[in-house]
Amino acid sequence: MDSPAGQPGETRTANVKLSIGGNSIEMQLSVPAGPVRPAQLLPVLQSLTNAVVEIATDAVEAEGKRISCQAGCGACCRQLVPISEVEAGHIAELVENLPEPRRSEIRHRFAEAEQRIAAAGMLEGLSNTQSLEEGGLQELGMDYFRLGIPCPFLEQESCSIHPDRPLSCREYLVTSPAEHCREPSAATIDQVPIPVKVSRGLLRFELSAGQRVVDWVPLSLAPRWAKSHPPGPPRYTGPELVQAIFQHLTAQNAAPAESPPNDS
């Protein structure tokens, strides 16, 4: 998908076809021809994640299982949700674009979450996830879950930013009884296998592009992270960015990004 940078406002269109678990996903993408930031492709990656999750859901339902997740069941919204640096910036921007008094309310919830993380002695480690040892990630995730910190966007046990929720939130579904999610364990939680995790593809892209400072950012610290790490200038044109990210989605032999705490 090599293309010249083009003029301001000019776009390029590409037809993308992915084969996932014997199913095909076809998408037509229109992206700016000139330099863009990865955040501008988030809507595309969200749509792709939804399509992959739909395939995974159809597969488990064909086996006679049923997705337990539904509005009003927000136990997983107290997990340590790993997001990319790009998504952290997007979440911070989303908060700043909220009207008052909603903006101040959500800011306050993020501040409360940070205070509780600090009080538990976890702030330094979660601010620099590269320093965490891989073997301790699962334990870290459980320690965080025991703090009971709700996602700042949780409203009446439902996600108030559902269309904008992070990729890893979209990829987390279970077929085990919903009541087990209140005290999860490997023996009681049956996650829906996701054939391709777009969230990991984005993390791999950030790593290969030299744009990652940490392995991932906790959702509850997203505004804090974004404030101290403003985005740099665009390094790719739209077509180059699409090509780079999709290469990491489809690479069969790429080394996986370090598994975040809520991965199985």
Beta bridge partner(s), residue 237 = 35
**Distance separating alpha carbons of residues 238 and 263, to the nearest angstrom:** 30
Q: Is residue 153 domain-resident?
A: yes
> 25 pLDDT band (50/70/90 cuts)?
confident
Q: Is residue 64 domain-resident?
A: yes
> 133 pLDDT band (50/70/90 cuts)?
low
The per-residue pLDDT for range 76-122, each reduced to its tens digit, is 999 999 999 999 999 999 999 999 999 999 999 999 999 999 999 99
Q: To 10 degrees, what angle do helices 198-208 and 42-62 make?
A: 140
> 7 pLDDT band (50/70/90 cuts)?
low
Q: Is residue 262 domain-resident?
A: no
Both tokens assigned to 114:
């940070």
What pLDDT is recorded for position 2? 40
Helices (H), 120-221: 123-127, 137-147, 167-170, 198-208
> 29 pLDDT band (50/70/90 cuts)?
confident
Looking at the structure of the chain, the number of domains it has is 1
**Distance separating alpha carbons of residues 203 and 259, to the nearest angstrom:** 10
Q: Which helix (H) or strand (E) holds 258?
A: none
Averaged pLDDT, 191-201: 91
Name all contacts of 94-98 with Cβ < 8 Å and 24+ positions apart: 94/161, 94/164, 95/223
Q: Is residue 255 domain-resident?
A: no
Q: Which residue has the higher pLDDT, 133 or 249?
A: 249
Q: Is residue 256 domain-resident?
A: no
Residue 116, CA distances (Å) to 66, 109, 120, 245 in order: 35, 11, 6, 35
Whether pLDDT at 1 is above 60 = no
DSSP code string of 211-247: --SSS-EEGGGHHHHHHHS------EEHHHHHHHHHH
Q: Which helix (H) or strand (E) holds 42?
A: helix 42-62
Q: Is residue 47 domain-resident?
A: yes
Q: To 10 degrees, what angle do helices 238-250 and 42-62 make?
A: 30
> 32 pLDDT band (50/70/90 cuts)?
confident
Q: Is residue 53 domain-resident?
A: yes
Both tokens assigned to 183:
């005290």
The upper half-sphere exposure of residue 226, i.e. CA atoms within 13 Å in the direction of its Cβ, equals: 22
CA angle 138, 229, 144 (to 5 degrees): 20
Domain region containing 197: 11-250
> How many CB atoms lie under 10 A from the CB of residue 62?
8
Q: Is residue 113 domain-resident?
A: yes
**Distance separating alpha carbons of residues 12 and 130, to the nearest angstrom:** 36
> 173 pLDDT band (50/70/90 cuts)?
very high
Residue with tokens 């997705």: 67
